[in-house]
Structure 1
Amino acid sequence: MLWVKTDQGPARLLVHGDKPVCFVPSDVQRQADNALRTANLQVDWKPLPLKTFQQQSLCACYTQTIRDSLQVSKVLNNDGIEVFEGDIRLADRFLMERFIRGGITFTGVAKDKMGHTEYSQVKAKATDYVPKLSIVSLDIECSEKGVLYSVGLHSDMDSRVIMIGEPKESEEGEQWIQWVESEKALLLALEAWFIQYDPDIIIGWNVIDFDFRLLLKRAEWNAISLRIGRGKQTPHWRQSTQNPNQGFISIPGRVVLDGIDTLKTATYNFRSWSLDSVAQELLGEGKHIHNVHDRMAEINHMFKNDKLSLAKYNLQDCKLVTRIFEYTHLLEFAIERSRLTGVELDRVGGSVAAFTNLYLPQLHRAGYVAPNLAGENWIASPGGYVMDSSPGLYDSVLVLDFKSLYPSIIRSFRIDPMGLVEGLLQDEGKQPNQAISGFRGGQFHREKHFLPAMIEELWSARDQAKRNGEKAFSQAIKIIMNSFYGVLGSSGCRFFDHRLASSITMRGHEVLSVTKDLIEDNGYNVIYGDTDSVFVSLGKSHTQEEADIVGNQLVKSINAEWIRRLKDDFNLECYLELEYETHYHKFLMPTIRGSETGSKKRYAGLIIQDGKEKLIFKGLETVRTDWTPLAQEFQQTLYEMVFHGQDPDEYIRDYTNKTLAGVFDDRLVYRKRLRRNLDEYQKNIPPQVRAARMADEMNAKLGRPLQYQHKGVIEYVFTTSGSEPKEYRQSPIDYNHYLEKQLKPVADGILPFIGKHFDDITAPQMGLF
Structure 2
Amino acid sequence: MFIEYNRQDCNLLAKLEKKLKFIELANEISHQNTVLLRTTMGAVAVTEQAIINEAHRRGMIVPGRVRRDESAPVESAAGAYVAYPKKGIHDWIGSVDINSLYPAVIRALNMGPETIIGQIRPVITSAEINRAKHQGNSFATAWEGQFGCWEYQAVMKQDKGTELIIDWEDGSSVRMSAAQLYDLVFDGNRQWMISANGTIFTYEFEGVIPGLLKRWYAERKDMQKRMSECGDNAIEREFWDKRQLVKKINLNSLYGAILNPGCRFFDMRIGQSVTLTGRCITQHMAAKTNEIIAGKYDHVGESVIYGDTDSVYFSAYATLKKEIDSGQIPWAKENIIALYDKIAEEVNGTFTAFMTRAFHCPKTRGDVIRAGRELVASKGLFITKKRYALLYFDKENERVDTAGKEGKVKAMGLDLKRSDTPVFVQDFLSEVLYLVLVGKTETEVLDKIKQFRAEFKSRPGWEKGSPKRANNVTQYHEEEKKKGKANMPGHVRASINWNRCREMYNDKYSMPILDGAKVIVCKLKNNPIGYTSIAYPVDEQRLPEWFKELPFDSDGMEESVLDGKIENLIGVLEWDVRSTESSNTFNKLFKLA
Q: Among 40, 48, 52, which residue is 1:356 paired with?
A: 48
C-alpha distance in structure 2 between counterparts of 1:553 and 1:384, whole Å: 27
What's the secondary structure of 1:714's corresponding residue? strand
C-alpha distance in structure 2 between counterparts of 1:581 and 1:510, whole Å: 20
C-alpha distance in structure 2 between counterparts of 1:457 and 1:645, whole Å: 47
Q: Given that residues 464 and 561 in structure 2 are in contact (C-alpha distance below 8 angstroms), is that contact kept between their aligned partners in structure 1?
A: no
> Higher helix share goes to which structure?
2
- Computing the radius of gyration over CA atoms, which structure comes out larger, 1 or 2? 1
Q: For residues 528 and 351 of structure 1, do their structure 2 counterparts lie closer, same or farther at Cα, with a shift above 3 Å needed?
A: same
**Cα deviation code 1:55-78 (max 9, x no counterpart):** xxxxxxxxxxxxxxxxxxxxxxxx
The one-letter code matched in structure 2 to 1:545 is E
C-alpha distance in structure 2 between counterparts of 1:418 and 1:555, whole Å: 35
Q: Any stretches of 5+ residues in structure 1 without a counterpart?
A: 1-140, 143-147, 153-313, 591-598
Aligned length, in residue pairs: 453
The one-letter code matched in structure 2 to 1:734 is D
Q: For residues 553 and 689 of structure 1, do their structure 2 counterparts lie closer, same or farther at Cα, with a shift above 3 Å needed?
A: same
2:352 maps to 563
C-alpha distance in structure 2 between counterparts of 1:351 and 1:547, whole Å: 41
After TM superposition, list the pairs within 5 Å mapping 1:284-299 onto structure 2: none
1:739 maps to 558
1:650 maps to 447
C-alpha distance in structure 2 between counterparts of 1:378 and 1:654, whole Å: 52
After TM superposition, list the pairs within 5 Å mapping 1:481-496 onto structure 2: 481-496=251-266
Query: Quick check: 1:374 aligned with 2:171?
Result: no
Q: Any stretches of 5+ residues in structure 2 without a counterpart?
A: 120-167, 175-183, 228-236, 295-302, 322-330, 394-399, 526-530, 538-542, 589-593
After TM superposition, list the pairs within 5 Å mapping 1:461-500 onto structure 2: 461-467=219-225, 468=227, 469=237, 470-500=240-270
Offset of 1:616 from its aligned partner?
2.3
Q: For residues 718 and 475 of structure 1, do their structure 2 counterparts lie closer, same or farther at Cα, with a shift above 3 Å needed?
A: farther
C-alpha distance in structure 2 between counterparts of 1:687 and 1:579, whole Å: 46
C-alpha distance in structure 2 between counterparts of 1:684 and 1:523, whole Å: 56
Offset of 1:684 from its aligned partner?
4.8
1:303 maps to none
Q: For residues 449 and 695 of structure 1, do their structure 2 counterparts lie closer, same or farther at Cα, with a shift above 3 Å needed?
A: same
After TM superposition, list the pairs within 5 Å mapping 1:569-718 onto structure 2: 569-572=360-363, 573-574=365-366, 575-590=368-383, 599-608=384-393, 609=400, 611=402, 612=405, 613-646=407-440, 647-662=444-459, 666=463, 668-672=465-469, 674=471, 677-678=475-476, 684-698=487-501, 710-718=515-523
The one-letter code matched in structure 1 to 2:428 is F
Offset of 1:358 from its aligned partner?
1.7
Q: Given that residues 470 and 495 in structure 2 are in contact (C-alpha distance below 8 angstroms), is that contact kept between their aligned partners in structure 1?
A: no
Offset of 1:704 from its aligned partner?
8.8
Question: Higher relative contact order by CA 8 Å / sep ≥ 6: 1 or 2?
Answer: 2
The one-letter code matched in structure 2 to 1:583 is V
2:127 maps to none
What's the secondary structure of 1:576's corresponding residue? coil
Query: Quick check: 1:345 aligned with 2:150?
Result: no
Q: For residues 528 and 653 of structure 1, do their structure 2 counterparts lie closer, same or farther at Cα, with a shift above 3 Å needed?
A: same
Query: Quick check: 1:548 aligned with 2:309?
Result: no
Q: Given that residues 81 and 282 in structure 2 are in contact (C-alpha distance below 8 angstroms), is that contact kept between their aligned partners in structure 1?
A: yes
Q: Among 97, 122, 125, which residue is 1:401 paired with?
A: 97
The one-letter code matched in structure 1 to 2:455 is K
2:293 maps to 523
**Cα deviation code 1:65-96 (max 9, x no counterpart):** xxxxxxxxxxxxxxxxxxxxxxxxxxxxxxxx
2:109 maps to 413
Query: Quick check: 1:318 aligned with 2:88?
Result: no
2:137 maps to none
C-alpha distance in structure 1 between counterparts of 2:438 and 2:513, whole Å: 45
Q: Given that residues 118 and 199 in structure 2 are in contact (C-alpha distance below 8 angstroms), is that contact kept between their aligned partners in structure 1?
A: no
1:535 maps to 313
Q: For residues 448 and 408 of structure 1, do their structure 2 counterparts lie closer, same or farther at Cα, with a shift above 3 Å needed?
A: closer
Q: For residues 150 and 501 of structure 1, do their structure 2 counterparts lie closer, same or farther at Cα, with a shift above 3 Å needed?
A: closer
Query: Greater shift after overlay, 603-612 or 415-424?
Result: 415-424
What's the secondary structure of 2:39's corresponding residue? coil
Q: For residues 415 and 763 of structure 1, do their structure 2 counterparts lie closer, same or farther at Cα, with a shift above 3 Å needed?
A: same
Aligned Cα root-mean-square deviation (Å): 3.3
**Cα deviation code 1:348-406 (max 9, x no counterpart):** 43311112212224546434413325332442211221111111111122121111110
Q: Given that residues 678 and 711 in structure 1 are in contact (C-alpha distance below 8 angstroms), is that contact kept between their aligned partners in structure 2?
A: no
C-alpha distance in structure 1 between counterparts of 2:570 and 2:118, whole Å: 57
Q: For residues 341 and 645 of structure 1, do their structure 2 counterparts lie closer, same or farther at Cα, with a shift above 3 Å needed?
A: same
Q: Given that residues 108 and 361 in structure 2 are in contact (C-alpha distance below 8 angstroms), is that contact kept between their aligned partners in structure 1?
A: no
Offset of 1:511 from its aligned partner?
0.9
Q: For residues 660 and 479 of structure 1, do their structure 2 counterparts lie closer, same or farther at Cα, with a shift above 3 Å needed?
A: same
Offset of 1:641 from its aligned partner?
1.7
Offset of 1:687 from its aligned partner?
2.5
What's the secondary structure of 1:401's corresponding residue? strand
Query: Quick check: 1:455 aligned with 2:213?
Result: yes
Q: For residues 472 and 702 of structure 1, do their structure 2 counterparts lie closer, same or farther at Cα, with a shift above 3 Å needed?
A: farther
C-alpha distance in structure 1 between counterparts of 2:582 and 2:517, whole Å: 39
Q: Given that residues 747 and 757 in structure 1 are in contact (C-alpha distance below 8 angstroms), is that contact kept between their aligned partners in structure 2?
A: no
C-alpha distance in structure 1 between counterparts of 2:510 and 2:579, whole Å: 48
1:157 maps to none
TM-score by length of 1: 0.54
Percent identity over the alignment is 20
C-alpha distance in structure 2 between counterparts of 1:426 and 1:690, whole Å: 59
Offset of 1:655 from its aligned partner?
0.9
Q: For residues 704 and 663 of structure 1, do their structure 2 counterparts lie closer, same or farther at Cα, with a shift above 3 Å needed?
A: closer
